[in-house]
Amino acid sequence: MNFNAIRKVLKTGALVFGLSSLFLVVMPSIFLDLLQLDKSDSLIWSMRMIGITVFALAGNLWNNAGQSDDQRVGNVAKIMCVSAAALGVVTLLIPAHLGWFTILYSAIGFGFSTAYLLAILTK
C-alpha cells in the first residue's frame, strides 16, 4: 500500500466532507434544490442532521490520516474505498431526476473510491 497517498486522499476527503457538511447545515434547501428533491421541513432537518454526521466523519478522516500506524491507515482506506463507491451508487439511485449536480456528486464518490483503490494497490 502507498500509505503517503492514502494519507493525502484521507486529508482531501476530510476537506471535501468538511465543506459539504457546512453546506448541509447552513443551506440544506439549496442542497435539496440541486439534487432536485422536495423541500419539506422534515427533509431539511434530515439534511442538517446528516451535515453534522458528515462533519464528524471529516474530523475522523483528518485524524486517521495522522495515525503513525500504517496498518490502521490502510484499514481506514479500505473502509472508505467501499463507502465512497456506495455513496456514488446510492446517489445515482436518487428518487428524482438525474441532474448535473447529482451526477457530479456521484462522480466525486466514485473518484474518491478510485483514489483509495489505487493507493491501496500500489506501493
Q: What is the 3-state secondary structure (H, E, C) of the chain?
A: CCHHHHHHHHHHHHHHHHHHHHHHHHCHHHHHHHCCCCCCHHHHHHHHHHHHHHHHHHHHHHHHHCCCCHHHHHHHHHHHHHHHHHHHHHHHCCCCCCCHHHHHHHHHHHHHHHHHHHHHHCC
Look at residue 50 in the predicted model and tell me its pLDDT: 96
pLDDT tens string, the chain, 123 residues long: the values are 999 999 999 999 999 999 999 999 999 999 999 999 999 999 999 999 999 999 999 999 999 999 999 999 999 999 999 999 999 999 999 999 999 999 999 999 999 999 999 999 998
Look at residue 105 in the predicted model and tell me its pLDDT: 94
Look at residue 2 in the predicted model and tell me its pLDDT: 96
